[in-house]
Amino acid sequence: MLLLGVAVILGFSSRASSEQKSKQKPTQTASDRGSEKLSFNETIQPILSENCYACHGPDPGARKAGMRLDRGDFPFLPHEKDGEKSGPAIVRGEPDKSPLIWKIEAKNPKDRMPPPEAHKTLSAEQISLLRRWIKEGAVYEEHWAFIAPTKVALPEVKEKQWVRNAIDSFILARIEKEGLNHSHEADRRTLIRRVTYDLTGLPPKPADVDSFLADSSPDAYEKAVDRLLASAHYGEHRAHYWLDYARFGDTTGLHQDNYRSVWPYRDYVIRAYNLNKPFDQFVVEQLAGDLLPAENVDQLVATAFNRIHITTNEGGAIPEELQFNLVKDRVETFSTVFLGMTMGCAVCHDHKFDPITQKDFYQMSAFFNNTADKFADDAIAAPAPFVTVPVAEKLAAYNAILSERAGVERKLIARQNLVDENIRAWITSGGPNELHRVSPEKLVAWFPLDEGKGTEVHNRAANASPESYQIAGVAPHWDEKTKFWPSVRFSTGTFLASPSVGDFESTDSFTVAGWFQARQLPQNGGVSETGALLSRMRIDGEKRNGWDMYWDGATSYDKEKKPQKVDGDTGTIDVHLANAGPKNEVLVRTKQRLGRADWYHIAFTYDGSGHASGIHIYVDGKPQELEVVTDALTGSIRTDAPLQFGKRTDAEPLREARYQDIRVYARALDAAEVDALANEDVVKGILGRAPERWSEDERKAVEDLYRLRFDREAGTLRTQLAEFDAKLKELETGGTPSLISRERATLPRSHTLDRGVYSALKERVAPDVPQVLPPLPNGVRRDRLALAQWLVSPGNPLLARVTVNRMWQELFGTGIVETAGDFGVVGARPANRRLLDWLATDFRESGWDVKRMYKLLVMSATYRQSTHVTPELLEKDPQNRLLARGPRYRMDAEMIRDTALAAGGILSERMGGPSSKPYQPAGIWEAVNASFVSDRYVQDHGDGVYRRSLYTYWKRTAPPPLLETFNAPDRSACLVRRERTNTPLQALIVLNSPDFLEAARHLAEHAWHEAGPEEDARLQFMAARVLSRPLQNRELDVFHNALSVFRAHIQTEDGARTLVTVGDSPVDATIPPQELAQWTLVASQFLNLDEALTK
Amino acid sequence: MDAGCQSISESRRSINEMRVFDPCHLPASFDPEVSPELRAEYVRNETRRQFFGKMVRGLGGAAFATLLGDSLLGSIARADEPKPVPPDWRLPNFAPKAKRAIYLCMAGAPSQLDMWDYKPSLANRFNQDLPESVRGGQLLTGMTAGQARFPLAPSIYKFAQYGKSGTWVSELLPHTAKVVDDIAVVKSMWTEAINHDPAITFLLTGNIVAGKPSIGSWIAYGLGRMNENLPTFVVLTSKYYGNAQALFSRLWGSGFLPASYSGVEFRSVGDPVLYLRDPAGLDREARRAMLDGIEKLNQMTYEEVGDPETHARIEQYEMAFRMQASVPELIDFSKESAETLELYGPDAKIPGTFTYNCLLARRMAERGVRFVQIFHRGWDQHDHLPKELVPQCKAVDQACYALITDLKRRGLLDDTLVFWGGEFGRTVYCQGELTASNYGRDHHPKCYTVWLAGGGVKPGIVYGETDDFGYNIVKDPVHVRDLNATILNSLGIDHEKLTYRFQGLDQKLTGVIPAKVVDGLLA
């Protein structure tokens, strides 16, 4: 017994390893054969990457002995580690003289490579391949996927008559080379069923099968294909794949997991496929439709692609950490979906296998780091920015305006592209002379906060004492929410206090000013959302003494003037001058409310009069209308409280605010001075130096000011844009918000992070594409649009390959490259690289014609083969990688449920709109919902229960259980290849869930009425609907037998009634319940057949 | 399970090769309370296992378990797909102390200062400021806004020493206090994450960012199954009282491991397993006839097409049928003795309570479920801590005691690892209003308390120490990574060797930063 066990284990192990080998077999055997030189890419790189790259690959942090084997530049040079020099690892043509070979062949395990801790062993065969490769000259090649594909000539095949299109030449050449035979064409019923599923996700209607069978014309199949490609269901089916890639869900996925309004994006995807939008356009719109600029609302809706990652509103979230995690998701999704690369690996260190550096990752992240969204989702359905998609009647008018607007915006962009020239001309013509600096007279404090790192900041006012301050408590975060330079954020526990600055009396005149960004944190409710921007204020119980400039989030007050309701997103600016507030003080408040996420220059001046009338508040240099709340100050406002950022001496710190260019003057500036302070003073300082010496931030500051103040034409264009925006807003009434991407006006920059830790900023980087790929064109503005256009440009080696590979995977079950999301060094090799390259090139040359590509695939003889598996094929190609037979596999969750609904005749045809909530067992959401979330699953009624599964509401913490059980993902991250497992839980769903039982009952009702009284006729009716074919006699017998058991067991009307009343729809009262129940079970048998679940 | 259906299913075994069953192979955990039906079911399973053994599925040892785990309830793989075979190691790596684990996850972060970490000297410091030197610039969540100072809030609960070990336990846990000699209290747990979502993701998957396999999935992958008709990894969620964060199915997801290693959620509302129950009006014989028909037709499909997946389909439906019997038996407490029910207390009869779930977990342990994870939420006491903590503790206290006691008296504690704990701790300073009877506590990742018991854990010890403020660890810190390494260790797994190749790397539960097994916790 024990012996048997051991034998079985061994038996399995050897089988497993032969299977693993067979995985690589198609590529290896091809190159091993004959006297052809070994290919580095096909044979050697897989051995080296698997066994050596982790320590001798692209990541210098992990590199051992200074030796690098992944690229040809290194192994032939001497290398050095810790001062110790070694010779080259490989001597071309001389395996016996190559230390690499000595190492892998070392007798003593201590000396042998790979070392024991790597848990890897080279086989004798692998060692001999390495020897042979070195002997043949050790030629390195660039990784195959980074070399642009070319349209290679079609290979010669023996059986030319089998070939229907180019695909077949490539496939057949391989099959013939392996000494196998292709399969015959599938019978016509199988074919129409297969292609209908692949193009629409639904079973063919029996009438469609019949008319296809009746059409004996040679192009009958092609006509059917064209009909299916024209069906609206085509777009729905394609979309269910794309929504996995784009990680689309109806909720935020973290913390409260609230609803958010993005379903218009789902409909955009469906529409794009149905309109056969060229794929390059589809890609550009999703990545950067806002920057095109958008000429219709779809191009804006498309940009939800960058927004539909998971988000949170957790109160303690740290903004930088959150932003980094979300930007990382954007980069990972981008690189997985469009490049087939795993860039996430380079977050912490240079990629261990692919030539992707850590810097590459962060340069890519800079493209996605400059969007205007706040990152925390505020637990609302449409956190800004969003577009309100107008109702259908207004859509045409809306798009017309948007199109006109785009024309104006293009002019503005064109002007911006000329900005260098214009600024030069402006400087030459003495324009800067118009700019004003503010006199430094009585400037007592100037904190530019441009240190960029660390905890020491400087007071740069002349004769300041002290000149520098240590920030206490929680370290401040420096990052890229730039105004003039990389900005700084103070946490609640961050303290910057100066006892010596701002010690003013109520009779002194003074000015306090600076750039502020109130906060980008999650909204949490509560009065703590208010607080001092800058203060010198002592709070003693209810009393306050001193002065402050205060962000006030309250929207209403009680009789005692205490704040009541608070708006988490906007606030007024209050100025307090208090002897003993709130009674003895002056309190004035701006009428305008400011947004939290934006930078504002905020200033107040005070003339020493002791009255409210002596205070002026300015925002962005403009004087504000003020409300005088209290004007009852007598006596002194002096206090021993220090000048503090974001705090007073009590509670209510202004949480997590940003500060820049903070100034205090011991005099009241006049309005012109404040205006200059906001806009001109800093820039005038920059203009004092030669442009060549400007930093990129300084150049940006000059450009911004020039555009704002001096480019009159741009001003006119901006005014026009605002007019369009007002018209658009009118048309939005009654529409649906949908999240979009929008670029901020700041420089798109990022920092490399030490080990990927959000707070460990290293080098500042500008947006760029990975160095191993073709560069961005010169002179292009580096934003998401440039990235998108680079992606679809002809020189990009990856996009077309990765895309056609996924199309192939959708139809054939497995891609030509099995690892659809990883075309890198450790990804699978293409089973047929020439075919992949041919398809990629063809796809691009066709103008990225998506329908044409799907048509090409389904028209091929390869696709049309029978799925019959012979023992020979099972032995030689168990996974069907060579495609000597047709594709056969269990369908996706959506297809399985939709099949049942279609077979039962209850599938709703309604397309698009808000997501639907079909049947769901009680308690699914409640089991995971946060206690403070009241969202409950409220099932739809009417056609909401019967809509196609891709419209099902996708709550990411608890995805639709029926779909999830069949391997649909939770959509919390991009997924380009679903797993396909078989579990008993799936069987229980098809057997027992109301979706399937109700569909079965409807199928039974239809059969009862439409097929007549004969049992066989009813069974054949069901077979036509579910299997698209008639049953054979032996199959009919099985059903008859089952029916007789059902008849014996379902005899009472009551029992039968409970069985047939599953679901919302009324029961057909014209059929005796017992009989309906019996036939419902038969129908259920049909839906549970392997053949029904399998495509 | 009714007799009729048994006879039918029995007859169906004729397709299998019947072999003489050796009763010595009954696992030791089968106690007298196991029903004869279950025993019979086990015998049948054993027979099936032998049948499958012929089909390249090994017998005995980890390879066997792993393959079953892959191929049966979790998933019936396509016959033509390579199985995820562990690399050149075989699990367990060394003799395991525990064969299974019960993981009591207190989501939301229980207040260690009010339950376990006794700080008598704080009593005199009520409302005094936490010294800056103690806080040491520690990152705050930002929720502690609304207060400029950090006033100390001593626990209002009385502590006493219990057992031979003299472990200090607060009056909130009178029952758990009775088993302190069976558990190891760790006062020096710490983590890096300060917010719930990243922290619980870190605790359960070893990584702050979502998407990695959960600990239960790793264990299911490494050790495989011990029962064919129940999942290897079961998740139970419990009723709670306090402030609770959301849970995510990805917390028990399999990440990049095959989906078959995901936790299967058992529900307390409706069917324990989704759609387990046949529709009313359909009896088991009719169901059997239905499945027989399906199988015959599938067999014809197989003959026609020759796709091995069709055979997987047949087995999938058979397993579903068997599960329809094994799960109701599992959740049927009617044969539990009055004494047992009394041990657990009245909640044991209320599905969905933590207590009910603990009793269910014991039954699963007996039946060979490898990893049971019970979530109890509501431990997030930012304010009004006393009001919420009392019922929260009450909901778990007796159940924990009963679970340990019950496992022990059945001889199951020796090879069952039990873990109790949350994702981080709570601050000694008050959040929100501080009065003599009311306070709240913010998140505190720098130290907190968990406990372990059973399978290989040193009983009756307190491991690690914190400072007088319960703010910093002063002795024997245990990082989340170390905890996970230790849990794997007691199951016989070397955390360095339990790897899965993904994106070119041998991924581990404990990640790339070194982790160490906490020897001091192991017997």
DSSP A925-942: TTTTS-TT---------G
Whole-angstrom Cα distance, residue A410 to residue B223? 62
Mark out the alpha helices in A819-976 (DSSP H runs): 833-845, 850-859, 871-876, 893-903, 961-965
User: Is the Cβ–Cβ distance between A297 and A304 less than 8 Å?
Assistant: no
- Which segments in chain A show pLDDT lower than 70? 1-35, 81-82, 520-528, 651-653
- Residue with tokens 């040359």, as numbered in its chain: A845
List the single residue in B139, B148, B195 with the smallest CB-CB distance to A649: B148
Distance CA B159, CA B173 (A): 10
Tell if the CB–CB gap between A982 and B76 is shorter than 8 Å.
yes
State how far the Cα of A901 lies from the Cα of B371, in Å rounded to an integer: 37
| A311 and A284 Cβ atoms separated by less than 8 Å | no
| Among candidate residues B355, B377, B372, the one with its CA nearest the CA of residue B107 | B377
Q: Is the CB of B59 less than 8 angstroms away from the CB of A4?
A: yes
CA distance A887 to A865: 8
Q: Quick check: B286 contacting A, CB < 8 Å?
A: yes
CA dist., res. B133 & res. A1038, Å (int): 81
| Residues facing A1094 on adjacent strands | A890
Q: Which residue has the higher pLDDT, B138 or A279?
A: A279
Which stretches of A484-569 are assigned E, i.e. beta strand? 487-489, 494-495, 497-498, 510-517, 531-540, 543-552
Alpha helices in A136-187 (DSSP H): 166-177
Core vs surface per residue A521-560: b (16+ CB within 10 A) or e: bbbbeebbbbbbbbbbbbbeeeebbbbbbbbbbbeeeeee
Instruction: State the pLDDT at residue B138.
Output: 65
What's the token pair of residue B127? Answer: 């409302």
Is A86 in a helix, a strand, or coil?
strand
Average pLDDT over residues B382-393: 94
B interface test, pick of A991, A1053, A1062 with most B CB neighbours within 10 Å? A991
Bond from prior residue into B445 cis (ω within 30 degrees of 0)? no
Cβ <8 Å between B59 and A528: no
B220, B312, B204, B303: which is closest to B261 by C-alpha? B220
Confidence band, pLDDT 50/70/90 cuts, at residue B80: very low
pLDDT of residue B137: 63
- By the 8 A CB rule, do B457 and B417 touch? yes
Beta strands in A632-757 (DSSP E): 643-645, 658-665, 736-739, 750-753
CA atoms within 13 A on the CB side of A727: 16
Q: What's the pLDDT score for residue B141?
A: 62
For residue B18, count other CB atoms closer than 10 A to its CB: 11
Contact status, residue A629 vs residue A588, Cβ threshold 8 Å: yes
State the CB neighbour count (10 A cutoff) for residue B240.
Answer: 23
CB A573, CB A551: distance < 8 Å: yes
Cβ of A930 under 8 Å from any chain B Cβ?
A: yes
DSSP assigned state of A339: I
The distance of A296 to chain B (nearest Cα, Å) reads 36
Kindly state whether B127 is in contact with chain A, defined as any CB-CB distance less than 8 angstroms.
no
Nearest to A653 among B83, B87, B148 (CB): B148
Mapped onto helix, strand or coil, the DSSP state of residue A1021 is helix
Cβ–Cβ < 8 Å for A604, A549: yes
- Chain B positions touching A957 (Cβ under 8 A) are 246-249
| CA distances from residue B82 to A13, A126, A979, B32 in whole angstroms, order as listed | 11, 21, 14, 41
Q: What is the pTM of this model?
A: 0.87
Contact A878 B80 (CB under 8 A): yes
Chain A: residue nearest B443 by CA? A316
Indicate the residue of A19, A474, A1093 with minimum beta-carbon distance to B82.
A19
Task: Provide the 8-state DSSP code for A183.
Answer: P
Q: Is A541 on the interface with B (CB under 8 A)?
A: no
Alpha carbon B329 to its chain's center: 21
Q: Measured between beta carbons, which residues in chain B are less than 8 angstroms from residue A493?
A: 137, 139-140, 144
Q: Could you give the 3-state DSSP secondary structure of residue B418?
A: strand
In the chain, the amino acid numbered A699 is R
Interface of B with A in 350-379 (CB under 8 A): 377-378
Indicate the burial class of B395 (C-beta count within 10 angstroms; 0-12, 13-18, 19 or more): buried
Which residue, among A1035, A964, A1031, A986, has the nearest Cα to B315 in the 3D structure?
Answer: A986
Statement: residue B60 has pLDDT above 80: no
Q: Report the gap between the CA of B182 and the closest CA in chain A (Å).
A: 31
Partner residue facing B245 (CB), from A923, A930, A964: A930
Q: Using a CB–CB cutoff of 8 Å, tell me whether B8 touches chain A.
A: no
| d(C-alpha A463, C-alpha A448), whole Å | 16
Give the pLDDT of residue B59.
27
> Which strand (E) or helix (H) includes residue A285?
helix A279-288
Kindly determine whether residue A972 and residue B304, on different chains, have CB atoms separated by under 8 Å: no
Nearest Cβ partner for A961 among B63, B274, B283: B274
Stated length of chain B? 523
Residue among A617, A616, A546, A613 at smallest CA distance from A578: A546
Q: Around A511, how many Cα atoms within 13 Å sit in the side-chain half-sphere?
A: 27
Average of per-residue pLDDT across B118-129: 95
Give me the phi and psi of A222, to 5 degrees please.
-60, -40
A842 contacts: CB under 8 Å, gap ≥ 6 = A151, A166, A853, A856
What is the pLDDT at residue A9? 31
Give the number of residues written for chain A.
Answer: 1095
Binning chain B into helix, strand and coil, the percentages to the nearest 5 are 40, 15, 45
Structure tokens at A756: 């990927």
Q: Are A284 and A796 spatial neighbours (Cβ–Cβ below 8 Å)?
A: no
Determine which helix (DSSP H) or strand (DSSP E) holds A606, and give its type and residue range. strand A599-606
Q: Which amino acid is at B58?
A: G
Q: Cβ–Cβ contacts within 10 Å for residue A889, how many?
A: 17
pLDDT digit string, tens, across residues B304-345 = 999 988 988 998 999 899 999 999 999 999 999 999 999 999
Q: How far apart are CA A1076 and CA A384, in angstroms?
A: 53
CA neighbours closer than 13 Å in the CB half-sphere of residue A306: 32
**Beta partners for A386?**
A739
Please give the Cα distance from A110 to B152 (Å, whole number): 57
Q: How far apart are CA B397 and CA B110, in angstroms?
A: 13
